[in-house]
Amino acid sequence: MRVAQYLFTTLIVLSLNFFLPRMIPGDPLSTLTGDPSADMPILLTDEIRGKLLHYYGLDRPLGEQYILYLRNLARGDLGWSIYYKTPVAALLWKHLRWTLLLMGSTMIIYLSLGSFLGVLSAWHRGSKLDTGLLLGIFGLGSWPSFFTAMLLIIFFSVKLNLFPIGGATSIYTSGNNLTRALDIAHHLILPSLALVIAYLPSIYFLTRNATLSALGENYIRTARAKGLSESLVLWRHTLPNVFLPLITMIAMRLGFLVMGAITVEVVFSYPGMGTLIVEAFAARDYPVLQGAFLLITMAVLCCNLMAEILYNRLDPRVKQQ
Amino acid sequence: MRRSTLSLLLALVVLLLAGCMPALTPTPSPPPQAKPSATSTPQEPLTVTYPGRDWGYPSPFGFYPRGPGYIRMSLIFDTLVWKDEKGFIPWLADSWETSPDGLTWTFTLHPGVLWQDGQPLTAEDVAFTYAYFQKHTTAFKWCASLQDVDTIKAQDQQTVIITLKKPLAGFLADVAGTVPIIPKHIWEKVQDPAKFTSPEAVIGSGPFKLVQYSKEEGRYIYEANPSFFKGKPIIDRLVFVKVQDSALALKTGTVDAATFWGKEIEAVQKLLQEEGLRSVEGPSFWVLQLIFNTSKSPLDQPAFRHAIAQAIDRQKIVEQVTHGGAIVANLGIISPKTEWYNPNLPTYKYDPSKAREALQSLGLVGAKFTLLTTESFAREAELIKADLEKAGLQIEIKTGDRSTVDGLLRKNAFDLAINGHGGIANPSILDNPVWPASCYHNERYNELFAAQAQAVNAEERKKLVWQLQELLAEDLPVLTLYHPKMWCLYNPQVLDSWFYTAGGVDGGIPLPLNKLVFLAR
């Protein structure tokens, strides 16, 4: 039953991925043949235009293109990018690995830090620590992320000259793996920091609220009345109930792992998925758009599935239903 | 060092992932900054870094067909003739001749030119190249001009004879000076050139060799070709890196030169005051124009278009939007910074009361129109809207992203639209003054255009191009708004030879990245 549901969703999304980009005005050829901001337009005769459309298979009826798309997809072939002139799968992987690195490291930091601070804040509700955290994180979270990113660049890269102003690697790195890793990390710190600052508040507030509401429950009062130690109250009775909303949130957030963070990527010229999707959209590069959206859909569906499974394990009530 | 301690923590995480990153590319050796030895630094490689982004694999079929993509390819591949700041100069061809009827062109190649793999470049390669580009339309950049080439023959090792189906006034500009010559011994085996991306695809005869290309990072590293037939370049390495903010990158020394244009004039002035930078100014060969949908009533009436032209204060747009980073445009589209420019055109002086009278007599006061534009020209659109509403029209601004606007223009689904394009150094651009729309039809215009395209005599062609401009200014299918200026800011200590090419590199690329900049002259 569940499997059928997931399959059905996938099919719908696949079709949307195919038809939506094609419904927007503009076509891949028009962006291929002239960007007014850069140089002269290329004047295409109808004959050559026809040949090009034929070469990319864009002259066939939409239904036929759709079936061809599905058939290729079934064979694991994501197609050939019209704008980037390269296989879509390879292109996606080149960007995906950077996004996984950036979003992965960011996520580990903000999830652990955010939930830790959230529990801390709730546990010491009303104290100076709580108020301080609340105000501080609320303040940080109200900056738009591209603005934080630019401030970080101006301060750490231009004024202090500690970090590069953008990119993912240096132009020259000597061959050995450790120096390369150091170099990649060096480029990763600022964008990662900008994203941690941007994403921290939501997870912090969620954890704080969940913890507070759990702490207000009768079973906590009972636990305390039983004379359990405070750490037992926290670990055994409070936190398990905080996990549930947290997991929903994390599962939703995991989708971002493959989507990238457009604004921060742009400010740091970081070669992630966000930049790719924006560019491919501007170029109306249908195969790349289809591939990228497919990837995101798959990631989100997988995360959903994982969350469901985890829920079953963590919350016996779900299983009984 | 402090930065390494900071990085160490993350490095561990990264090491894991670094394992699954494929070795990006062979790293050029030796790294320039990694030579700390104070005693023996006889030859630190001279590197010039320039900002950019991904413009595709720099093979003749791989680059994205835009100016910066062509530039990246042109560093590796040569053409028969080339341009400097004054005009055409011999390149792969030492000399050339035309028959009196303009139908036959004979090129004599420079002797002893070698491909980067050591093979000799001969007339056979040239003949092969032209035929190959005619056959494979995926290199559509050159298709239109190559259609008029009838035969191409290698008479001997060094002589190429090209015959045309009809005289081509722009043959040097549109064919000989733009089509890159490719090695026959490599490409003759290639069936689908658009998918040929092996390292062999970037073996050319030019001054630079590609040593690294990273698509996702938009990075190109070129090394000087020591056996280049015009001599080894004066720099050892040319690097393009992706940066978000060119001004910031210049300031931090991340790049050694960068270009700015039009509205960026304030950043340019600030940079020039603060840093030890120099600049060269050049024309952009670019025009922003208000396109009228001349296939739609009442926009099909020239009198109405004249009234609109009088209602719009173009000078004010230049001042308020570009802050002086542009000049008011030539109504004949062609850039005033070229030999083709006709300076004697009517200008339709800004006169709101006259415009209003004209609209009244046409009975169009209160008529409603939409004005289509992209977000980049929203301010121009606002000013135009205000001016037109003052004259008595009702304007609704519609904004879309570039491709959307482009798509609507191609379908002629608009009333008024703001759109810009480059290439106005070359009269061929006048083929369709309302590009990318196709709403303008005028028999006399088409005749004039065809006549100038086949004019063998330069003076005669110029006369015809002038008449075309007159006709445009009279009939006004578009109201041109402004031509932006361009600046190249550079650090003179690294390289001091930047210049802007006459009429732009290739057919009008307004960038100072002519390969001659990097050669001893």
Please report, for chain A, the start and end positions of each structural domain, with discontinuous segments joined by +.
Answer: 2-74, 91-286
Task: Please determine, for residue B53, whether its predicted confidence score (pLDDT) is greater than 90.
Answer: no
pLDDT (average), residues B385-413 = 91
Distance from CA of A125 to the nearest CA of B (A): 33
Q: How far apart, in whole angstroms, are the C-alpha atoms of residue A146 and residue A153?
A: 10
Of the listed ranges A208-217, B18-27, B355-364, B449-458, the least confidently predicted one is B18-27
pTM beyond 0.80, yes or no? yes
Retrieve residue B131's tokens: 């035929």
> With a CB-CB cutoff of 8 Å, which residues 171-230 of chain A face chain B?
171-175, 177-178, 180-182, 184-186, 188-189, 192
Put simply, the answer to whether A25 touches B138 (Cβ < 8 Å) is no
Q: What share of chain B is helix, strand, coil (3-state, %, to 5)?
A: 35, 20, 45
Task: Answer yes or no: are the C-beta atoms of A280 and A291 closer than 8 Å.
Answer: no
Distance from CA of A203 to the nearest CA of B (A): 22
Set of chain A residues whose Cβ sits within 8 Å of the Cβ of B14: 101, 105, 181-182, 184-185, 188
Task: Please tell me the least confidently modeled range out of A116-130, A169-183, B233-247, B486-500.
Answer: A169-183
The answer, for A30 touching chain B at a CB cutoff of 8 Å, is: yes
Closest Cβ opposite residue B403 in set A31, A84, A97: A31
Per-residue model confidence (pLDDT) at position B373: 94
CATH number for domain A91-286, candidates 3.40.50.150, 1.10.3720.10, 3.40.50.720, 1.20.140.10 = 1.10.3720.10
Average pLDDT score over chain B: 88
Q: Which two tokens stand for residue B4?
A: 């390494």
Nearest-angstrom CA–CA distance, B89 and B273: 36
Q: CA-nearest residue of chain B to A188?
A: B10
Q: Which residues of B touch A177 (CB under 8 A)?
A: 15, 18
Per DSSP, the three-state class of B212 is: strand
**Best CATH choice for the domain B207-283+486-514 from the list 2.170.190.11, 3.90.550.10, 3.40.50.620, 3.40.190.10:** 3.40.190.10
- Compare CB distances from B18 to A25, A83, A181 and report the shortest one's residue: A181
Beta strand segments in B171-256, E? 208-214, 219-224, 237-241
Look at residue B378 and tell me whether its pLDDT is greater than 80. yes
* B95: CB partners within 8 A, 6+ apart: B107, B108
The residue-averaged pLDDT of B295-310 equals: 93
Positive or negative, the CA dihedral B407, B411, B415, B421 is positive
Residue B507, min C-alpha distance to chain A (Å):
7
Domain boundaries, chain B: 47-195, 207-283+486-514, 286-484
Interface check for A284 against chain B (CB to CB < 8 A): the answer is yes
CA A253 to chain centre: 7
C-alpha B217/C-alpha A192 separation (Å) is 17
- Between A44-53, B198-207, B390-399, B503-512, the lowest mean confidence (pLDDT) is in A44-53
Closest residue in chain B to residue A161, using alpha carbons only: B252
Over 80: is that where the pLDDT of B147 sits? yes
Angle at CA B263, nearest 5°, toward B438 and B244?
95
Rg of chain B taking only CA atoms, in angstroms: 25
Q: Under an 8 A CB cutoff, do A165 and B243 touch? A: yes
List the single residue in A with minimal CA-CA distance to B507. Answer: A40
Separation in Å, CA of B372 to nearest CA in chain A: 13
CB contact (8 A) between residue A97 and residue B20: yes
Mean pLDDT on B228-236: 96
Nearest CB neighbour to B252, from listed A48, A165, A173? A165
Residue B64 to residue A157, Cβ atoms within 8 A = no
Q: Could you tell me the CATH superfamily of domain B47-195?
A: Dipeptide-binding Protein; Domain 1 (3.90.76.10)
CA distances from B470 to B167, B313, B349 (A): 24, 21, 16
How far B193 CA lies from chain A's nearest CA (Å)? 11
Nearest CA in chain B to A169: B217
pLDDT at A305: 85
Q: CB neighbours of A182 closer than 8 A, spacing ≥ 6?
A: B4, B7, B8, B11, B14
Query: CB B34 to CB A182 under 8 A?
Result: no
pLDDT tens per residue across span B99-125: 999 999 999 999 999 999 999 999 999
- Note whether A269 and B244 are within 8 A (CB): yes
Write out residues in chain A with pLDDT < 70, as ranges: 30-45, 173-175, 256, 260, 318-321
Q: Where residue B60 falls among pLDDT bands split at 50, 70, 90?
A: very high
How many residue contacts between A and B have a Cβ separation below 8 Å?
Answer: 239
Report yes or no: A268 at the B interface, CB cutoff 8 Å. Answer: yes
Nearest to A189 among B6, B137, B244 (CB): B6
More confident site: B18 or B461: B461
Partners of B88 in the beta sheet?
B83
> Please, are residues B204 and B115 in contact by the beta-carbon 8 Å criterion?
yes
**Residues B7-51 pLDDT 10s:** 444 444 444 444 444 443 333 444 344 333 334 445 678 999 999
Q: Please tell me the predicted confidence (pLDDT) of residue B14.
A: 46
Backbone phi and psi for residue B368, each to the nearest 5 degrees, phi listed first: -110, 135
Give the CA distances from residue B198 to residues B57, B443, B469, in Å, rounded to whole numbers and listed in that order: 10, 48, 46
In tens, the pLDDT along A149-160 reads 989 998 998 888
ipTM for the predicted complex: 0.79
Q: What is the pLDDT of residue B368?
A: 95
The answer to whether the CB atoms of B140 and A42 lie below 8 A apart is yes
| Three-class DSSP category at B22 | coil
- N residues, chain B: 521
> What are the backbone dihedrals phi and psi of residue B340, each rounded to the nearest 5 degrees, phi first?
-90, -10
Type of residue found at B336: P
What is the per-residue pLDDT for B482?
A: 95
> Within an 8 Å CB–CB cutoff, is residue A266 touching chain B?
yes
Q: Say if the Cβ atoms of B70 and A39 lie within 8 Å.
A: yes
Provide the pLDDT for residue A142.
83
Portion 62-121 of A in contact with B at CB < 8 A = 80, 83-86, 91, 94-95, 97-98, 100-101, 104-105, 108
Q: DSSP letters along B247-299, please? A: HHHHHTTS-SEEEEEGGGHHHHHHHHHHSS-EEEEEE---EEEEEE-TTSTTT
Pairing of strands B81-83, B326-328: unpaired
Single out the residue of B276, B274, B357, B350 nearest to residue B318, CA to CA: B350
Topology (CATH) of B286-484:
Dipeptide-binding Protein; domain 3 (3.10.105)
Judge whether A23 is closer than 8 Å to chain B, CB to CB: no
- What's the pLDDT at B34? 38
Min Cα distance A318 → chain B (Å) is 36
CA dist., res. B427 & res. B452, Å (int): 9
Nearest residue in A to B510, CA atom: A39
SS3 B332: coil
CA distance to partner chain B, nearest, from residue A126 (Å): 34
Judge: B252–A161 Cβ closer than 8 Å, yes or no. yes
Cα gap A88→A280, rounded to integer Å: 11
B301: helix, coil or strand? coil
CA A133, CA A65: separation in Å to the nearest integer? 55
- Name every chain B residue with its beta carbon within 8 A of the beta carbon of A113: none
